[in-house]
Amino acid sequence: MISKFLNRIIKYLSNNKRKTSTLLVALFVVLVSFYVGIFRAPADFPIKETITIEEGSTLSSIAEKLKEDSVVRSSLWLRNIVIILNGEDGALSGDYYLGREENIFSMARRIAKGDFDLDLVRVVIPEGATVDEIGQIFEKRFESFNKEVFLNLVGDNEGYLFPDTYHFLPKVEEGEVARILSNTFVEKLAEVDEDIRKFGKPIDEVINMASILEEEARTTKTRRTIAGILWKRLEIGMPLQVDAVFTYANGKNSFTLTTEDLREDHPYNTYTNKGLPPTPISNPGLDSILAAVTPIESDYLYFLSDKNGNMHYSITFEEHIRKKRIYLN
């Protein structure tokens, strides 16, 4: 049956060569016109620009926006192609870089698959970085990033921005950075939530202590040992007497502090004030947070780090003074 039908078509085309040629030419003209009018990129396609698809936008509104921005000629066809590729909710939000002219099929595939054509920028936030230092890192890595805007957004969140390796789009905004670093902190904190609850101290005290441990020690064991010493000092009403807070307050370290610095009256002076400093002094990593809630109990009440980074502990003040003369002179 089918073979007979095909034979008839072939016979008709053979007997009507002139009509067939005319028909094919007309069909070709229609297809070219259709392609140029619908599928080809607009003449004013925004090459080397970035378009943004906002999160929560409907596919219809996205298609209309891309038509208005001269990215495609037909919002209807763009929408239909995306639906075929990825369903009704197929367009992925984000920034899309238009490095070259693209037809409607290419654009539909990109927004359906989330092909941003942007190289993500790798950013490393070291453990113990302050919010100001984090702002400096991003300002150096991203041309449009404003540190002051970032600092205004994070406010008093010192200690609550998680240090880690991140990847961001080249045009990332300050609010997005603040949100991602804050959310990562919450996610990471969940990993040690049980340890924190068992320890029983408020989270703000834990993070405050962890920020000090981050600056005072480098290994898990020394952090846990120092945590035991510092929590003990708080319990007996003894000033913490840690030098790391001075780096945060005035930029000085243990080897540049003077007697006048130790006597200066300011909220972060842990020699003249009892208790924890007003805020965390850095953004601690997970190891320091865990060390803060799993302190090692000991008879030690004093510690010091020599110029090589080695830690020395003492039970009495006299012993501590003697070790200071040995290791710090």
Q: What is residue 30's predicted lDDT score, i.e. its pLDDT?
A: 47
The H or E element that residue 302 is part of is strand 302-305
Same structural domain, 221 and 320: yes
Which tokens belong to 176?
A: 């997005």
How far is residue 270's CA from residue 267's CA, in Å, rounded to a whole number?
Answer: 8
Q: Are 120 and 167 spatial neighbours (Cβ–Cβ below 8 Å)? A: yes
Same structural domain, 233 and 298: yes
Dihedral angle of Cα 301, 307, 309, 313, to the nearest 10 degrees: -20
Q: What is residue 70's predicted lDDT score, i.e. its pLDDT?
A: 92
Q: What is the CATH number of the domain that holds 59?
A: 3.30.1490
**Residue range of the domain that includes 314:** 199-328
> 216: left (phi > 0), else alpha (psi -120 to 50), else beta?
alpha
Q: What is residue 142's predicted lDDT score, i.e. its pLDDT?
A: 92
Q: Could you tell me if residue 194 is inside a domain?
A: no
In the numeric block, the tokens 């865990």 are attached to 290
Same structural domain, 204 and 309: yes
Same structural domain, 259 and 314: yes
Which of these three, 189, 207, 235, is where a domain ends?
Answer: 189
Q: Are 279 and 131 spatial neighbours (Cβ–Cβ below 8 Å)? A: no
In the numeric block, the tokens 């007997």 are attached to 15
Q: Could you tell me if residue 314 is inside a domain?
A: yes
Burial tier of 63 (Cβ tally within 10 Å: 0-12, 13-18, 19+)? buried
Which tokens belong to 327?
A: 């290791």
**321: amino acid identity, one letter:** I
Same structural domain, 309 and 205: yes
Q: Could you tell me if residue 294 is inside a domain?
A: yes
User: Which ranges constitute the DSSP H helices of the chain?
Assistant: 2-15, 17-34, 59-68, 75-86, 104-113, 131-141, 147-154, 174-189, 193-199, 203-216, 220-235, 244-250, 259-263, 286-293, 317-328
Number of independent structural domains in the chain = 4
Q: What is residue 2's predicted lDDT score, i.e. its pLDDT?
A: 46
Same structural domain, 35 and 55: no
Q: Could you tell me if residue 76 is inside a domain?
A: yes
Which tokens belong to 93?
A: 């939000």
Same structural domain, 220 and 323: yes
Q: Could you tell me if residue 109 is inside a domain?
A: yes
Residue whose C-alpha is closest to residue 161's, from 139, 133, 200, 120? 133
Which of these three, 189, 211, 243, is where a domain ends?
Answer: 189
**With a cut of 70, which residues of the chain have pLDDT below it?**
1-37, 87-89, 250-259, 261-262
The one-character DSSP state at 36 is: I
Q: Could you tell me if residue 44 is inside a domain?
A: no
How far is residue 156's CA from residue 52's CA, in Å, rounded to a whole number?
Answer: 31
Which tokens belong to 113?
A: 């698959």
